[in-house]
Structure 1
Amino acid sequence: MQDITLYTHPFSRGTYVVWMLKECGAEYTVVPIQFGAQIQSAEYLAINPQGRVPALKFGDTVLTESLAIITFLAEQFPDKHLIPAADTLERGEYYRWMCLSLHLEYAAFNKLHNLPVDTPERRRQIGYGDFDTAWNTLREHLKNRDYIIGNSFTALDLYYSGLILLLTQNFKVLPADETDVLQRYAAKHLARPAFAETMAWAQETVAQMPPAE
């Protein structure tokens, strides 16, 4: 196994990657990156020219995009069974819901910022159509299910649970209603020990970081 180094801020989507590393039982190093001057420094831009976190250095290769990183990690630790086997229909379903999650996030942030999708033409042009249709697709899928695919926890359940939490607590785009199917689904996975360990890590790490410049 290559050396794994994660560059991230503890209050960012990098928490998904920390959670995933814990689920994998991986050995890794975290380099905390502060927003502001540090994330825009020449040193960090040499790692990720976009000036964003997370970034994962795996050996000599740098990976970015949290969903790509956790999917890659799932493949690197096959004994943890966090992704369906390659060349199976279930792996195809994984890719479907992986791509849809990006549309759902776009839909949520467009709603947050009041970007209109209010005509049939705009709905056709935008990949997710409209907020309600996109998110109700997920609700309907999860109505009688505990997992996105199959009958066990995968990297997608980690990602979707984190996304639902973000959009419920931080941005309040989704309803914080415990009877909602999305909240029921997320609560099951957010109760995993590795998530509690990740949140404890985030609080401890941010307390030790210097103020942003």
Structure 2
Amino acid sequence: MANFSTHLNVAAISTGLASAVLLSAGHININTALWLWCLGTLGGLLPDVDADNSTSLDIIFNIFSVVAILMVLYYITGEHYKEIHFIELLVIPLAVYGIIKYLIRPVFEKITVHRGSCHSLLFLLLCALLTIQLTWIFNENYLTKSSLHAWLSGGFIFFGGLIHLLLDEIYSVDLSNLRIKRSFGTALKIADFKNKSATMIMLSAVIALGYITPESGSMMNTLTDWSTFKVW
């Protein structure tokens, strides 16, 4: 399998080029391009979230902790909670971080197996749909805005993760000795059918999230128009 550095660099280069293409075509602005690049790079690490004590796991859970803290602060400082004390601004982020680090992460590490359910296309699709939904909801005035940003966000998560799975499969082939390693076929799979319960839960979540995704018409119209794309 490819190492952390390879996954990170290839995902960053590939998704960076993809976001640059969209920027050159006028489909997105520079801020969105940078956002998509970050998401694509993160997606390139996602399948290794089931590897205990891995660098990918540390990075992903740290990012997840930051996002969770920001979401909680965003909610409690909204129009329904206008007054918040200084001590609360210190205690609440620490509490959220503690719950994720000392409760959620240990449980996640215990129930997951490396190259199991998280190393599948179904898991990537679930992550992509979750990203679409969260990006759509937490975008201000999301009901009146184009869904392009949300769909691209989920698409780049999926794209980065797909690169990870492909790299692991490529590294399963020993070209120098012309042989296929035993790990071949364990990286790029539709789902982990050995773990039926996890697969059914993820499949149910994918169906539910797919049902409530934002409209895709404006996204399709935008991405099929490349008349303004400039190479030079």
TM-score relative to the length of structure 2: 0.29
* Greater relative contact order (CA < 8 Å, ≥ 6 in sequence): 2
Larger radius of gyration: 2
Q: Which is richer in strand?
A: 1
TM-score calculated relative to the size of structure 1: 0.30
